[in-house]
Structure 1
Amino acid sequence: MSLHHSAHDEVHAGAEELRTALKDHGITLPSLGVDLPGFAAVYGASLVALGNCNAATARALAEVLRKAAAR
């Protein structure tokens, strides 16, 4: 397995883990996915694109993070 392929698998796995964790809290980021231009770059790491969300989703995500930090 090449280094590039490994990074490709890793970023996809990370995006899916985040999607699942968010879903467990009733949160969906519709445009969550892999940042495709990151695969074309020869210099950097692949990125997970979080995308856009509406205000209600942003608030729900902030609430989950605040509760997790308070533990």
Structure 2
Amino acid sequence: MTTHPHPAGAPTDLDAVLAEAPAAAPSSAEGGEPACLLHRVCPSCGRLATGPAAGCCSRCGTELPE
């Protein structure tokens, strides 16, 4: 195993490093489209329907679930 010298005062234990790391601030803008769009995803090709009232996929013509 290769070892590397650590500068004086530098923590050598992973737990010590993680304890000194600042906590990430939660982001209120995380995520993407809501899960309620799942019914608009074509089961055959995966394309997202362009409108909420679409009855079939505009790419492959497969009927979309209701």
Q: TM-score range by the shorter chain?
A: under 0.3
More strand by share: 1
> Which of structures 1 and 2 has the larger relative contact order (alpha carbons within 8 angstroms, sep 6+)?
1
Larger Rg: 2
More helix by share: 1
